[in-house]
Chain A
Amino acid sequence: MSTCGAEDHVFVCRCEEITKEEIAAAIADGATTVRGIKVRTEAGMGLCQGRGCRKIIQQMLSQSGARPAAEVLPSTTRTPVRTAKISEFINEEDD
């Protein structure tokens, strides 16, 4: 990697404290998808589930030229949309 300035130490994923430098290293390692970044760095796996970092990571991926911007898709989103208490699921009536 080229020289590393202060901006490279900025947290992209604040929940898991993954820096721009670490995301760039994952791209250099061959990641071409948001999920590929997650597997290599664990970015997007924290409390907010990638709401904060997803778009920055998509942008970094498309800028790297690994894939055309239109093909850099967000990773899979799954239940729940917000954190939810376990007891809420247990007490829920049948669908």
Chain B
Amino acid sequence: MTRTADVAIVGGGVNGCSIAYRLAKAGKKVVLCEKGDFAAGATGSCDQMVILQSKNPGIHLKLALDSAELFQTLAQELDYDIEYFRHGGMITIENEMEMDVMTDFVAKQKKIGLEVDIISREEASKRQRGLGEHLLGCTYSAQDGHVNPFKLNMGFAQAAKKAGAELLIDAEVTDFKMAGGKVVGIKTAKGDVDAETVVLAAGAWSPLLGQKLGMKLPIKPRRGQIIVSQPCAPYIVGDILSAQYIVAKYHPETLLNAKSRGIQLGVGLAISQTARGGILIGATREFVDYDVSNTREGIREILKNAARLMPGLKNLNIIRVMGGVRPYTPDGLPLVGCVKGMDGLFMAAGHEGDGIALSAVTGKIVAGLICEGKAYTDVSALDPNRFELFAK
């Protein structure tokens, strides 16, 4: 059976479903095709943060702020409890080098409009017990929060269906349909979909599909391992990152000669507690192709790092570990927009660790670009054509 749509979306993660929802609401006929089931990739193997403080001051932070604004009323809008809570967030600072990086980072973030400050260890201890004695201080922002990624994904999916979109699962995209050098649809395990526009929102798997079009997308899978504790009474108040994470993300050159195994695995603290009480402790950042398994070494380094920053965690029990790949891009920004030289194709992938936080605004941007030819704000920094997209 061949379906016809205005827009065919490839990928049923949080971003694919957010895009499906916004486009269907704007009156487009949408068919979304997902290889497995919803939340099967990065969405289903992440922490839960909608954290603003980790975002690079500039377009990255601005979009995250706009997304967080949308999150405030999203449950109501989707008519689905996505468990979004804004309990604030902190970034732990352990040494002078991190203090210098964070002082600069915070000053720039304030200029973009984030409410964030550096607070002393004493002040931080009033907000969160169990912090390491050796910390020099923390950053704090009341605007940080977290959301249940499964519920967010399903909330977008259900709202998209209600708005008239057709969402197909177990519908792996096997190829693209071409006519006159243009992409005019997709072939899937559940039949063809003819569409004016095909949105590639397959996260870390997008490059594999891009290959079918002769493209060499600059997206690479990067594994994150995360550990889940037993459900326990409220302990982690907000969301906590370590400055190591910021340093590793934005100043990787400082770590090139690092001897610590933890640093080599890209370990940075990311910790928060779910609505059901489990504490999520992350994470590694490793290039291991599409291997989503866990390693003893990864688990141990994450826990060693977490227990150094929060010694109180040592006596908790863990019940589960997770592993998943996120779509890394060289400049840390996703690829969102049309592809020059491949009419009919629209990219919306490469969010790496920001897929959840940016999901709300990504749907809005894509719907704006597809329906009106422009987004609500200048998103030229996300233009996929900033990279060389075709294999030479």
Contacts and interface: CB of A to CB of B under 8 A. Distances in A.
B150 A39 contact: yes
A3 interface: no
B313 A39 contact: no
A95 B300 CA distance: 11
Contacts, number: 90
Interface stretch (A4-12, A40-48, A52-60): A40-48
Interface in B219-254: 229-231
B315 A85 contact: yes
Contacts of A87: 307, 314-315
Please classify the interface of chain B as helix (H, G, I), strand (E, B), loop, or mixed, using the class held by over half of its residues: mixed
Contact of B154 (A39, A83, A85): A39
A89 B322 contact: no
A16 B276 contact: yes
Contacts of A39: 37-40, 44, 150, 153-154
Please classify the interface of chain A as helix (H, G, I), strand (E, B), loop, or mixed, using the class held by over half of its residues: loop
A49 B321 CA distance: 11
A66 B198 CA distance: 28
Interface residues of A, number: 28
B315 A86 contact: yes
A47 B231 contact: yes
Nearest to B170: A32
Interface string B315-346: 11111111100000000000000000000000
28 contacts: A16-B276, A30-B169, A33-B37, A39-B39, A40-B154, A42-B150, A47-B319, A78-B323, A80-B318, A80-B321, A83-B317, A83-B319, A84-B318, A85-B315, A85-B316, A86-B303, A86-B306, A86-B307, A86-B315, A86-B317, A87-B315, A89-B303, A89-B318, A90-B300, A90-B303, A90-B304, A92-B300, A95-B297
Interface of B: 36-40, 44, 150, 153-154, 169-170, 229-231, 276, 278, 294, 296-297, 299-300, 303-304, 306-307, 313-323
